[in-house]
Amino acid sequence: MTRSHHKPLFFTDREFQAFEGAPDPADVTAIAHDSAAILVGAGRTNADPEVTARLIALTDEIGLSTLAQLWAGRPAVSLPGVLWRLYTLREWVRRDAVGASGDYNAGIRHAHVSHAVAGSADPSGPAEIKALADRILEGAYTGDFAIALERAAAFCRVVASGRAERAERHDGHDDDLAAREALSAARLGDTARDLTKAASAWRTGNLD
């Protein structure tokens, strides 16, 4: 399938020309933060459902690699940093909805509170998990931004619990796989903590 190439919503020609021209690192930082602020601001002030839908599906239009160039290098507790994590989460779920639902369901019994905060349906099959990822991202543009981040954090905690359980099951039988699962669970736990910190920063006006 050929991907059509469009400029991201609400980015200016000047911003893209600067980015594509291998700018100074300070310019890259400014572009990352400005582009994130533009997207969030435009999404939160626009009541058009079509605009919201395009924002949610941004990586479907421009590709995750474009966002990686813009946002992946920014601090986790920053506006571009949290947007990068929200879009990465959605992209993973869309690419591997079966695996994502398996991870999530494995973790529910160990993370009941996080499951309730995340807001997934029961049972949480592939379709439900994909819908949840979209709803979390939609909340960043149409609801309380801090709550959207907390829901994403809760989702990560549930998945991390599922992967940690699998790591324990594989321990002593497939040590390499157990180590990979444990490392993945730990990283998701770190992401959950970063998203929670970012939610607090947003509430105090310190997330930029």
pLDDT tens by residue, 44-93: 998 899 999 999 999 998 899 989 989 999 999 999 999 999 999 999 99
Domain that holds residue 93: 13-203
Is residue 28's pLDDT more than 90?
A: no
Mean of pLDDT values over 1-18: 43
How many domains does the structure of the chain reveal? Answer: 1
pLDDT tens by residue, 99-123: 999 999 999 989 999 999 999 878 7
Asked if the structure places residue 166 within a domain, the reply is: yes
CA pair distance 166, 168, nearest whole angstrom: 5
Asked if the structure places residue 7 within a domain, the reply is: no
The answer for residues whose C-beta is within 8 angstroms of residue 158's C-beta and 6 or more apart is 104, 107, 108, 111, 114, 115, 118, 120
Q: What is the pLDDT of residue 124?
A: 84
pTM, 2 dp: 0.86
Q: How many residues does the chain have?
A: 208
Asked if the structure places residue 151 within a domain, the reply is: yes
- Nearest-CA neighbor of 124 among 169, 83, 93, 160? 93
CA pair distance 18, 138, nearest whole angstrom: 29
State the sign of the Cα–Cα–Cα–Cα dihedral 87, 56, 140, 147.
negative
Mean of pLDDT values over 152-173: 90
Q: What secondary structure does DSSP assign to 117-175, as a single string? A: HHT--SS--HHHHHHHHHHHHHHHHHS-HHHHHHHHHHHHHHHHHHHHHHHHHHTTT-H
Asked if the structure places residue 173 within a domain, the reply is: yes
